[in-house]
Structure 1
Amino acid sequence: MIYTVTFNPSLDYIVRLDSFKTGTINRLKYEKILCGGKGINVSIVLKNLGVSSIASGFTAGFTGEEIERQMKNEFNCSCDFIHLSAGNTRINVKIKADSETEVNGQGPNIPQQSIDALFAKLDKLQNGDYLVLAGSIPNTLPNNIYERILERLYHKNVNFVVDAEGKLLLNVLEYKPFLIKPNNHELGGMFGKTLTTPEALIEHARILQQRGARNILISRGGDGAILLTEKGDCMSCAAPTGTLINSVGAGDSMVAGFLAGYLSSADYKTAFRMGIAAGSASAFSENLAVMEEVDTLMKQITI
């Protein structure tokens, strides 16, 4: 079974307009409210690709209730969230105009008893399960929460998937995560560098492999992606052709596509192709990728 954890979920208020100007009234051309958060996005895309998962994390208040309603009723996803007694799950505003602007909320306080409740749920994972830890953590959680979870479950041979930045990611490498997915900017940031060429990205990704990461999927936006596998293979692929409509969730969709492809084939090349197709399908749509879109784009992809 695949489990996803989103520590800081959100309701995303997505708006589109021709141009956005500060200090005045702006009229929208499009608006939509969607449940958001990296782990939540992974669960939704997995379901769209025919793979079941259980989404967990923390929810609070009326916004948390709406997240769970959407997950269950609109996306048919299984949920096992921990409900906080105070506060509200955050609202993030995504403004799509001549450029993209985001205003992200803070999120509720997470008390120790709720952290303990999450640990109790994760302790039930079994050998061979997949655990996806994705995204930022609120400032009310200890900054080593990812590390504590992997250390706690390491002896169970759980396959960890970690999509996070900086120290959140670097500090878990010793627990040999099955997959990490930095983008090119995040990978460079871990080394205090700007990495502009495939050769530089591969060189620095291999350092992360030496520190414990089994497979490394590097997303490069419109330039495609690179995969380094635990078998020693290195693959690259250009992005398929399409018009960027909404970049939110594209990286999460790539993770979901990779997992769906690997679980159906046990083949990293197939997983890589499906990951690229799913990430691109979400980027080329107002919504997250669905199977028909992924199948169409996979025909364009050459590894």
Structure 2
Amino acid sequence: MIYTVTLNPSIDYVMSISSFQEGVVNRASQTMYYPGGKGLNVSRVLTKLGTSTTALGFVAGFTGNFIKEKLLEEQVNEKLIEVEGVSRINVKLKAKMESEINGTGPVVSENNIDLLIGQLQSLNEGDIVVLAGSIPNTMPSTIYETLMSVCAKNNVKVVLDTGGEMLTKLLDWKPFLIKPNHHELGDLFNVTIESTEEAIHYAQKVLEQGVENIIVSMAGDGAILATKQGTYFAKAPKGVVKNSVGAGDSLVAGFLAGYSKEKNILHALQNGIAAGSATAFSHDLCEKEEVERLLNEVVLQEVNLEDIKK
């Protein structure tokens, strides 16, 4: 079973407008509402792809009820813990330029956190936990370390999708998978990565720290997968980008769906790139049929590390 943890879920309120002006009334041409949060996105895509998943985390108030209702509609299994307050609303404004205003979430008590820890303590070897997103300032900054220590005791694999100083600290826990973009990878080493060769070089350094797999997103150019089995470059399919929200989460979900089915790391990568691309080419998260259509358009190439060193 693949579990996702979303500490601060949201309603993503997406508004499309031809031209936005400050100080006047603007009218949206289209509005959409989705359950939001990186972990929830992963669970939503996994469910679409037919892979067993359970969404964990915290919700609150009438917005929390909406999130749970939408997950139920999509048949996403959830064991979200209800807390006091109101889950946040994140506004995504799609005009000539895309802008976001993210709301604040509810306060989560120590007792609430203990309930989440208890859920993870019941997991078994073979399960996978996805820790995705930033840590809200209403929770201890060490919460991910606490959750990863619980998983380690039961030999549960952890996928870590976060960035910044937090990612640097958590590498010591040797996660099963991390997914930085090339900017975030550079931040780990205080460098600016400007080429695929540089990204591969620093991905190898991450492997040396004990991380099992690292996917480095190179935006529309594709992605790099570095593992102990080898290093590979995946060229993304071509298409019209309609949506930047959730593409990275879809990549993670597609990778895990492929891995759980065949335990083949290359099939997992191909599936992940197809899922991420399918979301980028859609208005919401990808659909299974589109992922399957794009699979054959994902070109994989093994990287000769000796060539990189020259």
Instruction: Report what 1:18 is aligned to.
Output: 18
What is residue 226 of structure 1 aligned with on the other side? 224
Please provide the CA RMSD for this pair. 1.0
Give structure 2 stretches of 5+ with no counterpart.
301-310
1:268 paired residue number: 265
Q: Tell me whether 1:281 sits opposite 2:296 in the alignment.
A: no
Deviations 1:191-242 (A, max 9, x none): 22221101111111122111121000111211111100132x1111222111
CA contact (8 A) 1:14 1:95 kept: yes
CA distance in 1, matches of 2:112, 2:287: 33
Instruction: Tell me how many residue pairs correspond in the alignment.
Output: 300
Deviation, 1:66, is: 0.5
Does residue 1:255 correspond to 2:289, yes or no? no
Whether the 8 Å CA contact 1:184–1:201 is kept in 2: the answer is: yes
2:296 is aligned with 1:299: yes
Residue by residue over 1:109-151, the C-alpha shift from the partner in whole angstroms, topping out at 9 and shown as x without a partner, is: 1111111111111100101100000001110111111111112
TM-score, with structure 2 as normaliser: 0.95
Contiguous gaps of at least 5 residues in structure 1: none
User: Could you tell me how far apart the structure 2 residues matched to 1:173 and 1:90 are?
Assistant: 29
Counterparts of 1:34-183 in structure 2, within 5 Å, are 34-73=34-73, 75-84=74-83, 86-183=84-181
Contact 1:3 1:54 in 2 (8 A): yes
Distance 1:59 1:191 in 2: 35
Q: Which moved more, 1:50-59 or 1:168-177?
A: 168-177
Within the candidate set 182, 188, 191, 2:189 is matched to 191
Deviates more, 1:220-229 or 1:276-285: 220-229
Q: CA deviation at 1:190?
A: 2.1
* Per-residue deviation, 1:88: 0.4
Report deviation, 1:182. Answer: 0.6
CA drift at 1:280:
0.5
Tell me by how many angstroms 1:62 deviates.
0.4
If the length of structure 1 is used for normalisation, what is the TM-score?
Answer: 0.97
Q: Distance in 2 between matches of 1:103 and 1:189?
A: 25
| Equivalent position amino acid for 1:82 in 2 | I
Conserved? CA contact 1:6–1:37, under 8 Å:
yes
C-alpha separation in 2, matches of 1:128 and 1:295? 26
CA contact (8 A) 1:147 1:168 kept: no
Kept in 2: contact 1:45–1:257 (CA 8 A): yes
Letter in 2 for 1:245: K
Matched, 1:211 2:233: no
Do the aligned residues in 1 keep the contact of 2:127 with 2:156 (CA within 8 Å)?
Answer: yes
* AA of the residue aligned to 1:145: I
Runs of 4 or more off by more than 3 Å in structure 1?
A: none
Q: Percent identity over the alignment?
A: 47
Structure 1 partner of 2:308: none
Instruction: State how far apart, in whole Å, the 2-side matches of 1:92 and 1:296 are.
Output: 31
